[in-house]
Amino acid sequence: MTRQILESSGTLIENDHFVYASGDHGSGWVAKDLINLRPELAHQLGQLLGEEIRDQGFRPDVICGPAIGGVICAQYVALALKTRCVFAERLLGKTGKTEKFEIKRGYDEIIRGQSVLIVDDVVNTGFSVRLTCEAVVQSGGHPIGIAAYVNRGNVGAADLGVENFIFLDEILLPSWPADECPLCQAGVPVNVRYAHGSEFVVSEQVHLMS
């Protein structure tokens, strides 16, 4: 059912050149924002993931999603589980790259001492959810695991630093460190519409000018 929803919404894109949040490059992308254009599909995925979470015996006090992309799916999953939902915000370093996530707006008080499930739409390298998990711990919450619609990076719970990783579908697409990317070596242009390609292109231009 999950794969059918992704394919019907045109979410799965292959044979292109993408830059992920971690800085790694790859040839495929799950354009999760296309799902959010159709709230009925996003709601359906949230219900499916909520059911999977319940079936595996988890009853989190709070759901936490990494901004920006994880906020919408976290809301739908929280709705399915009838629990509260907060989000973690990115903090950028001097280079403009994400250094860590932080839980603000009083949400830190809500999760303190509570069991928290980190929820994102798609896990690529796990960069965002790992930092969100760290933010939960720093705010006094107790992460019980990570959940996502799609595991795109062939990662496991141990890779994410948690005991439990729940997902609806697994889509394996190749990725490489930026300095080893065969697409860069072949001169394939970076996709600037999806993922973090536009930021990468700007940073490369700044680097060349400096």
Answer whether 125's CB lies under 8 Å from 118's CB: no
pLDDT in tens, the chain (210 residues): 899 999 888 898 989 999 987 889 999 888 888 999 999 999 999 999 999 999 999 999 999 999 988 999 999 999 999 999 999 999 877 776 767 999 999 999 999 999 999 999 999 889 999 999 999 999 999 999 999 999 987 789 999 999 999 999 999 888 899 999 999 999 999 999 988 899 998 888 866 776
Count of domains for the chain: 1
Whether 90 is in a domain gets the answer: yes
Structural domain contains residue 166: yes
Neighbours of 185 (CB within 10 A): 10
For the chain, the residue count is 210
| One-letter identity of residue 94 | K
Say how far apart CA 65 and CA 67 lie, in whole Å: 6
Helix H or strand E segment including 55? helix 39-55
Between CA 89 and CA 104 the distance in angstroms is: 8
Integer Cα distance of 79 and 200 in angstroms = 35
Residue numbers of the domain that contains 108: 2-197
**What CATH number corresponds to the domain at position 14?**
3.40.50.2020
Q: C-alpha dihedral over 169, 42, 22, 160, to 10 degrees?
A: -50
Q: Does residue 34 fall inside a structural domain?
A: yes
Please check whether residue 208 lies inside any domain of the structure: no
Burial degree of 119 (CB within 10 A; 0-12, 13-18, 19+): buried
CB 17 within 8 A of CB 183: yes
